[in-house]
Structure 1
Amino acid sequence: MRNILLLTDFSKNALNAIHYAINLYGSKCKYYILHVKRSTSYTTDDILTAGNESIYDSIFKNDKNELESVVTDLKNKFQPTTLNIETIMDFDVLTDAVNQVVKSKNIDLVVMGTNGATGAKEVIFGSNTINVIRKVNCDTLVIPENFEYRKIKEIVLPLDALDSVIGQPFSRILEFVKSYESKLHLLRINQNGSIPNSQLSDKEGINTLSKEMSYSYNIINNIPMHYAVSGFIQTQNIDLMILIEQKELMFERFFMGSTTTKIGNNLTVPLMVFHS
């Protein structure tokens, strides 16, 4: 059984991401809903007014009630589906809390929402989202604000000079694509126009696709990555974007630079990050 970790701050965006995940994976998974309390979210008054309650119970009481309400609403919404859901609360740094749950519960996928660059709580690619992907060694699914679930028919996998279509991460991507009978669009982007060694080896990996699934292979030269990816997503009606994470290297080249920040802050479709 697949174990999926759903992150929530009780926002509309987080709930939307949870709904997307359940629509995508159904009832054949064990879901863990994690809420992490921040130190800035309670005051001394919360402690002083605890009365006979423990400090822990006083701080988490409202959150516990909200989590129970979320679970009740989910089970009502997805009837007659029987959902296997467990709630978890923690008081910690977000990434530390997520890492602990990933390890203790053998999590296969972390799901979270992102509000984009204008998010009131700064849940953006420069903070919580990017930190979870970067510091948690687990595949991650990020759902843009207000993106409603739809069947995944078209998937794009952008590739640059460091990405390879040979190896274990790519094999897992193929399993995912085939499980939803989707079409995979490989987008080899050469921003400076030179042909990388990884492109020369693409043929070997592509040969494994021809008889197994629907795909397209596209080479784009001398166009900034964020333009190439954004344009392709719009013109091909893409339902999901996939990236291969290569530790910190992927973020320096894809998210942290000026071109890739534009992709993160203007994400229009769900993003699945497969860890190498």
Structure 2
Amino acid sequence: MKNILLLTDFSENSINAIRYALQLFEGDTCNFSLLNVQSSSSFMTDDLMLSGNQSLYDSIIKKAKNKLDQLILELEDEFETQTYSIKSVADYDSLTDAINQIKASKNIDLVVMGTNGVTGASEVVFGSNTINVIRKVDCPTLVIPEGFKYRTPKEILLPLDHSDSLRENAFTDAVSFAKRFSKKIHLLRIKTNNENSKEELKDKENINTFLKEMQHEYHLITDIPIAIAVDTYIQTHNIDLTTLLVQKESLFERFFIGSPTTKISNNIRVPLLIFHSY
């Protein structure tokens, strides 16, 4: 993960997420893009009229660009020993459209954002929009909960739905991340009934293939909602980060529309790393 997109609305929550990312990749040579997106709903007609002869860019984007550049100076001073490149990007667009454009132009490997849940003051960018980014941006996304202080993700939790495969690219990406940062991965296969799924039957073989050189735990849980299972496991184990494999269509919609995963993303206790499996 060398090209990383950092989202900010200049809130303390978003800046905390940026600091987490800079600490996570300490010692790596990374290209960070720091993005602030201004939306039309943030400005009244009177605001634009007061700009006089200034262009739309000058009246809306320039102020954001200056704030981004100032934030970069502060971050560079704080992390002065690191081999980072941080560039500012200000845009006037929808959040997900802006992210997708930058993802394509800068070959982004990871999106990092903060969230304080849908009831927080920053809901316009980092509440419900967290779900929109996960749904509409096909890129690994790291979500940092409000106020979470950095610690090395030594132990990672990976909840698995009945159809999540340990042979899909999303799982191998999650394992690559775990091997890079962690000493142990916890697999939590969550079943809706007592019937064995075809993926569950392959788990032992796949674990022996992909995790033979890494510490791991594997648990089967039946008839417990995923949000409750994950939250309980995090509270009873030393989990530093949770990873989810997100699928499309029926499973994806079940996860993200009024679903347990929506609840997880809105109430996460530790950072949440999303890998798409489509």
Q: Same fold (TM over 0.5)?
A: yes
Residue 201 of structure 2 aligns with an amino acid whose one-letter code is L
2:221 is matched with which residue?
220
Distance 1:9 1:104 in 2: 22
Conserved in 2, the CA contact under 8 Å of 1:2 and 1:108? yes
Structure 1 stretches lacking a partner, 5+ long: none
Post-superposition offset of 1:40: 1.7
Matched, 1:20 2:5: no
Query: How far did residue 196 of structure 1 move?
Result: 1.2
Distance 2:255 2:15 in 1: 27
Amino acid at match of 2:13: N
After TM superposition, give the deviation of residue 124 of structure 1 in Å: 7.8
User: Could you say which residue in structure 2 is the equivalent of 1:165?
Assistant: 166
Aligned partner of 2:111 in structure 1 is 110
Query: Which whole-Å CA distance do the structure 2 matches of 1:249 and 1:84 have between them?
Result: 40
1:91 is matched with 92
How much does 1:245 deviate?
1.4
- Is the CA contact 2:119–2:127 (under 8 Å) kept in the aligned structure 1? no
| Sequence identity percentage | 55
1:236-247 paired onto structure 2 within 5 Å? 236-247=237-248
1:172, 1:201 → 2: CA distance?
19
CA contact (8 A) 1:13 1:115 kept: yes
1:189-241 deviation digits (Å, cap 9, x = unpaired): 11323221110111221112453111011111121211111110110121000
Matched ranges for 1:121-136 at <5 A: 121-123=122-124, 127-136=128-137
Aligned match of 1:203: 204
Shift of 1:179: 0.8
Normalized against structure 1, the TM-score is what? 0.94
Q: Identify the range of structure 1 (247-256 vs 190-199) with the bigger mean alpha-carbon deviation.
A: 247-256
Q: Which amino acid aligns with 1:2?
A: K
Do the aligned partners of 1:189 and 1:221 also contact (CA within 8 Å) in 2? yes
The SS at the match of 1:272 is strand
Q: Secondary structure at the match of 2:186?
A: strand
Amino acid at match of 1:5: L
Q: Residues 124, 193 of structure 1: CA spacing in aligned structure 2 closer, same or farther, 3 A cutoff?
A: farther
Which residue number in structure 2 is paired with residue 58 of structure 1? 59
Write the distance in 1 (CA, Å) between the matches of 2:22 and 2:273: 15
Number of corresponding residues: 276
Q: CA deviation at 1:77?
A: 0.8
Q: How does 1:41-52 map to 2 (within 5 A)?
A: 41-52=42-53
Distance 1:87 1:210, change over 3 A: closer
Deviations 1:139-167 (A, max 9, x none): 11000000111011110000011201112
**Contact preservation (8 Å) 2:113, 2:126:** no
How far 1:126 sits from its partner (Å)? Answer: 6.6
Task: Specify the alignment match of 2:269 in structure 1.
Answer: 268
Deviations 1:244-268 (A, max 9, x none): 1112444423232353433222111
149-158 or 173-182: bigger deviation = 173-182
Structure 1 Cα separation of the partners of residues 126 and 199 of structure 2: 27
**SS, match of residue 36 in structure 1:** strand
Alpha carbons 1:133, 1:273 under 8 Å: kept: yes
Give me the whole-angstrom Cα distance separating, in 2, the residues matched to 1:76 and 1:169: 36
Whole-Å Cα distance in 2 between the matches of residues 90 and 142 of structure 1?
21
The code of the aligned residue for 2:25 comes to Y
* Inter-CA distance 155–258: structure 2 relative to 1 (3 Å threshold): same
Unaligned runs of 5+ residues in structure 2 are none
Letter in 2 for 1:35: N
Q: C-alpha root-mean-square deviation of aligned residues, in Å?
A: 1.8
